[in-house]
Structure 1
Amino acid sequence: MKNIFLKSALLFSVIAGIFTSCVNDDQYDSPEIVFSADLTPTKTVKQINDGATAAVVQYAGDDIIEAYVTSSDEKGNFYKSVSFQTIPTDATAPIGFSVPIDDNTLYGEGFSPGRKVYIKLKGLYVAKVYGSLQIGSLFEGTIGRIPVNVWRNHLFPSATKVSEDSFVRPMTMAAAFTDANQNTLVELDPVQFGEGSLGRTYYDVDSGGGSTNHSVIATTGGASQVIRFSSFAPFSGNMVPSGSGKIRGVITKYQTTFQFMVRYESDINLTGPRADLFAPIGGSALVYTGAFSEPFTSYTTSNQQVFPKYINDAAVGSRYWQVKTFSGNKYIQMSSFGGTPEANRSLFIVPVDMTAANNFSFKTEAGFDNGPCLKVYYSMNYVPGSNINNATLVDITSNFVIPAGPASAYATSFTSSGVYPIPSSLTGNGYFIFEYKGNGNGGVTTTMQIDDITVN
Structure 2
Amino acid sequence: MNTISKLTIAGVLSLGLFTAQSCVQDDDYATPPIECNLPSPNISLADLVSKVTAGSIKLDANKAIAEDLIIQAYVISSDETGNFYKTISLQDKVENPTTGIQIEIDGSNLYNSYPLGAQVQINLKGLIVANDRGVMKIGSVDPQYTVGRIPSAVMSTYMVKTCEAIQTIKPKVVSSLTDALKPENLNTLVTIEGVQFSDPDGDKTYGVSGTTVNRVIVDKKGKETDLRNSGYATWYADVLPKKSGSITVVVSRYNSTYQVFIRDTNDVKFDQPRFDVGGGQNPGGGNNSEAANLLFKGSDFNVWADFLSSINSFGLVKDTYATSGVGVGRDNTNALLLKGTPKANDYVFTTIVNNTIPATPKKITFYVKGTSGKSLSLNVYKSDKKYVVYNVGDLSNSNVSLSPIDANQYTGKIDTKGEWVLVTLNIEGVDIQKTAGENIFALKVGKDEAYDLVIDNIKID
Written as runs of structure 1 = structure 2, the 5 A alignment for 1:92-241 is 93-109=97-113, 111-139=114-142, 140-165=144-169, 167-171=170-174, 172-195=176-199, 198=202, 200-204=204-208, 210-218=211-219, 220-241=220-241
Matched position secondary structure for 1:113: coil
Evaluate the alpha carbon distance shift between residue 105 and residue 279 of structure 1 in structure 2; reply closer, same or farther with a 3 A threshold. same
Evaluate the alpha carbon distance shift between residue 277 and residue 157 of structure 1 in structure 2; reply closer, same or farther with a 3 A threshold. same
Partner of 2:276: 276
1:257, distance to aligned residue in structure 2 (A): 1.8
1:86 lines up with 2:92 in the alignment = yes
Task: State the identity as a percent.
Answer: 30
Q: Distance in 1 between matches of 2:109 and 2:95?
A: 31
The CA RMSD over aligned residues, in Å, is 3.1
Q: Distance in 1 between matches of 2:107 and 2:31?
A: 20
Matched position secondary structure for 2:242: coil
Evaluate the alpha carbon distance shift between residue 34 and residue 275 of structure 1 in structure 2; reply closer, same or farther with a 3 A threshold. same
1:276, distance to aligned residue in structure 2 (A): 2.3
Partner of 1:26: none
Evaluate the alpha carbon distance shift between residue 246 and residue 87 of structure 1 in structure 2; reply closer, same or farther with a 3 A threshold. same
Evaluate the alpha carbon distance shift between residue 196 and residue 133 of structure 1 in structure 2; reply closer, same or farther with a 3 A threshold. same
Written as runs of structure 1 = structure 2, the 5 A alignment for 1:65-84 is 65-84=71-90
Written as runs of structure 1 = structure 2, the 5 A alignment for 1:56-455 is 57-87=63-93, 93-109=97-113, 111-139=114-142, 140-165=144-169, 167-171=170-174, 172-195=176-199, 198=202, 200-204=204-208, 210-218=211-219, 220-277=220-277
1:256, distance to aligned residue in structure 2 (A): 2.0
Evaluate the alpha carbon distance shift between residue 148 and residue 197 of structure 1 in structure 2; reply closer, same or farther with a 3 A threshold. farther
Matched position secondary structure for 1:66: strand
Q: Distance in 2 between matches of 1:164 and 1:192?
A: 26
The AA in structure 1 aligned to 2:76 is: T
Q: Distance in 1 between matches of 2:33 and 2:89?
A: 21
Kept after mapping to 1: 8 A contact 2:134/2:256: no
Q: Distance in 2 between matches of 1:197 and 1:247?
A: 19
Task: Specify every segment of 5 or more residues in structure 1 that has no aligned partner in the other structure, as ranges.
Answer: 1-30, 282-334, 340-456
Matched position secondary structure for 1:52: helix
Partner of 1:430: none
Evaluate the alpha carbon distance shift between residue 237 and residue 107 of structure 1 in structure 2; reply closer, same or farther with a 3 A threshold. same
Kept after mapping to 2: 8 A contact 1:198/1:241: no
Kept after mapping to 1: 8 A contact 2:206/2:236: yes
Evaluate the alpha carbon distance shift between residue 213 and residue 280 of structure 1 in structure 2; reply closer, same or farther with a 3 A threshold. closer
Report the TM-score, using the length of structure 2 for normalisation: 0.50
Kept after mapping to 1: 8 A contact 2:135/2:254: no
1:100, distance to aligned residue in structure 2 (A): 0.5
The AA in structure 1 aligned to 2:204 is: R
1:141, distance to aligned residue in structure 2 (A): 4.9
Task: Specify every segment of 5 or more residues in structure 2 that has no aligned partner in the other structure, as ranges.
Answer: 1-29, 56-61, 282-357, 363-461
Q: Distance in 1 between matches of 2:209 and 2:95?
A: 40
Matched position secondary structure for 1:57: coil
Evaluate the alpha carbon distance shift between residue 141 and residue 76 of structure 1 in structure 2; reply closer, same or farther with a 3 A threshold. closer
1:203, distance to aligned residue in structure 2 (A): 0.8
Counting matched residue pairs gives 249
Evaluate the alpha carbon distance shift between residue 189 and residue 279 of structure 1 in structure 2; reply closer, same or farther with a 3 A threshold. closer
Report the TM-score, using the length of structure 1 for normalisation: 0.50
